[in-house]
Amino acid sequence: MASSRAINVLFLIGLLLVPFMWDSFVAYQLGLFLLYGMVGQGIGLCWGRAGFLPLGQALFFGVGAYVFGFALKLEAGPLILVAGLLAAILLPALIAFVVGFLVFIRQIGSGPYFSLITLALTMLGFQLANSMDWLTGGFNGMTGIPALPGTDTYETLYYVIWAALVLVSGVLAYVGTAPFGQLLGATAQNEERLQYFGVNTALLKAIAFAISAAVAGLAGALFAPHQGIVTPQSVGFLLSAEIVVWTAVGGRASLMGPVLGAILIGFMASELRDSFQYWEVLIALVFVVVVIRFPGGLWSLVEGLARRLPSIGAKGARKRDLETDKSRADGSVRLAFEDVELVLGPVRILDKLSFRIDTPGVHSIIGPNGAGKTSAFNVLTGRLKPTAGRIEYNGATVGGLSRHRIARKGIARKLQIPSVFPDLSVDRNLDIALWAGNLTLSQMFTLRPFRWSTPLLNEMYDIFPFLEDGRQPAGSLSLGQRQMLDFAMTCLTQSPLLLLDEPCAGLSSSETGEMIDAIERIVATTGSTAIIIEHDMQVVERLSNHVLVLNQGALLANGAMEEIRSNPAVQAVYGGGSK
């Protein structure tokens, strides 16, 4: 990491020295490519870290250019210029936030819909810029934009652009390191799991999109005095597509990759445009080769060399010295299903399911495959919306609420298949669990949450010693260890109600024993209520204070294990097994 930062700093220093090594026209050209590279850095935040691709960044670039160009043409003093610059940054950010939130709130993942919407917005912006002659100058553009006061377009403006690049790079580097950036990375890897930790991922991604738009607006603001003219092409799809290509070539997941891509492709295009008829085909081939051969972009080669350098500084143990004020579960759980139905197409999955749980301890839900056990968890946690009926938790109706809102009410869920963030370290996975329901928006942009700890975390280290090797990626763990990590993360939310879907699935006999001990210990320590779906009857017999039997989406029986074992209806439909 330290070597990577050093390479970034050296790259920026090299860019600063360009005017001393080449003539002013080269610096002028490079200044333009640095502006495009800044826009690419914003795309990298969205695409490379958060996993959604904006195809319309030129819209925000062009808005920033038009707004600040208009302010420059007024020639009304520094206050107007400052106001114009702020507007050039904040207006694109506001547009992006509103559009992003409205799109993301309706879907998990981003898919093609978000990209297509941003593409459509760019096309709309292009048409408006062409038609609003009174404001934008129409097809001919906004002309006669003066130079930035105190600068020369071919000389000192380059240093202003370089300083803006340094500022943007510093801000994005910090954002990526802060909890906000870690949560963005987790969103790209496993958005649904993050929502089960109470994180509003729609808000998270909308903020990231707004930051990228603000960066594009700043770049556009400097583009106006750099070029002296702003045309509708500055808002169009072609520029958006080109910047996406440059970002991919340079490396969308790296901080300086988009800048490198913009410089290389920019200079290549300027050199070949007048001398080679098929220069666009050649650039397209370069793009295809780089994306196929180096999926991480050209900057990944630079970072590969940096990783071979000796590490700078000793890697000390992780310091967790700030205990959070996360309140411990007190066992106050009142859960009620009242005639809950779930119908998907012609299939009735839950059929007037009704039961109540209002005592602490471990409650098991058993039943044959297809009985509706996991579906009951799904309607309780917001994965599916019940067709009819009512679900109450501690006096509040939760059926039909979103995942993150239900999680914040004190319901934590472990999915049947281990659900962790594979590319993040074990420490980062534990951090995300600790932050669940406890991290404010302002704290997302500070480093203090990385030092958070709870007594329960120390207990988890004692139960699962492998967690202390926090630097290893979660994806490198064995299946059993991922199950245990997932369980630990669920418990670290310290929610009063824990939903554990087959926590022993895929575990060996010894690992199953460890998991049983862990569940018993955590429930006893925290006073929480656990509801477990499990097919292994030995696990059910050892853990359960109370058992519910489901069949064909309805409650068949409930009571102590001895009662369930002797129930004729249960004997008729259900057969258990054990490891």
Q: What is the pLDDT of residue 506?
A: 87
- 262, 40 in Cβ contact below 8 A? yes
Q: pLDDT digits over 482-497, tens only?
A: 999 999 999 999 999 9
Q: pLDDT digits over 440-469, tens only?
A: 999 999 999 999 999 999 999 999 999 999
Nearest of 41, 519, 536, 523 to residue 262 by alpha carbon: 41
Rounded Cα gap, residues 38 and 44, in angstroms: 10
**Token couple for 433:** 């669990």
Q: What is the pLDDT of residue 108?
A: 65
Nearest of 27, 38, 84 to residue 61 by alpha carbon: 38
SS3 content of the chain, % helix, strand, coil (to 5): 60, 10, 30
Residue 409 carries which side chain, given as an amino acid letter?
A: K
Mean residue pLDDT across the chain: 91
- 360, 526 in Cβ contact below 8 A? no
Q: What is the pLDDT of residue 287?
A: 87
Least confident of 38-47, 160-169, 277-286: 277-286
177 φ, ψ to 5°?
A: -80, -30
Strand partners, 344: 347
Q: Residue written as tokens 């300027």?
A: 270
Interior CA angle at 496 toward 494 and 497, to 5°?
110
Q: What is the pLDDT of residue 573?
A: 80
pLDDT band at 303 (very low <50, low <70, confident <90, very high): confident
pLDDT band at 121 (very low <50, low <70, confident <90, very high): very high
Q: Residue written as tokens 């350098």?
A: 309
Range 290-309 average pLDDT:
82
Where are the domains positioned within the chain?
2-308, 335-571
List Cβ neighbours of 481 (8 Å cut-off, separation of 6 or more).
Answer: 464, 466
Q: pLDDT digits over 318-369, tens only?
A: 677 777 766 544 558 999 999 999 999 999 999 999 999 998 999 999 999 8
Would strands 388-393 and 546-551 be described as parallel, antiparallel, or unpaired? unpaired
| pLDDT at residue 107 is higher than 80 | no
Rounded Cα gap, residues 416 and 535, in angstroms: 12
Cα Rg of the chain, angstroms: 28
360 φ, ψ to 5°?
A: -70, 175
Topology, domain 335-571? Rossmann fold (3.40.50)
| pLDDT at residue 480 is higher than 80 | yes
Rounded Cα gap, residues 381 and 401, in angstroms: 8
Q: What is the pLDDT of residue 194?
A: 96
Rounded Cα gap, residues 292 and 387, in angstroms: 46
Range 394-420 average pLDDT:
94
Q: pLDDT digits over 171-215, tens only?
A: 999 999 999 999 999 999 999 999 999 999 999 999 999 999 999
**Token couple for 269:** 């295009």
Higher pLDDT, 210 or 285: 210
The C-alpha torsion from 522 through 525 and 529 to 533, rounded to 10°, is: 20
Nearest of 478, 458, 476, 477 to residue 468 by alpha carbon: 458
Nearest of 511, 499, 530, 494 to residue 419 by alpha carbon: 499
List Cβ neighbours of 156 (8 Å cut-off, separation of 6 or more).
Answer: 150
Angle between helices 237-250 and 24-43 (to 10 degrees): 90
pLDDT band at 314 (very low <50, low <70, confident <90, very high): very low
| pLDDT at residue 579 is higher than 50 | no
Q: What is the pLDDT of residue 106?
A: 81
Q: What is the pLDDT of residue 578?
A: 45
Range 74-87 average pLDDT:
93
Residue 431 carries which side chain, given as an amino acid letter?
A: D
Range 273-284 average pLDDT:
83
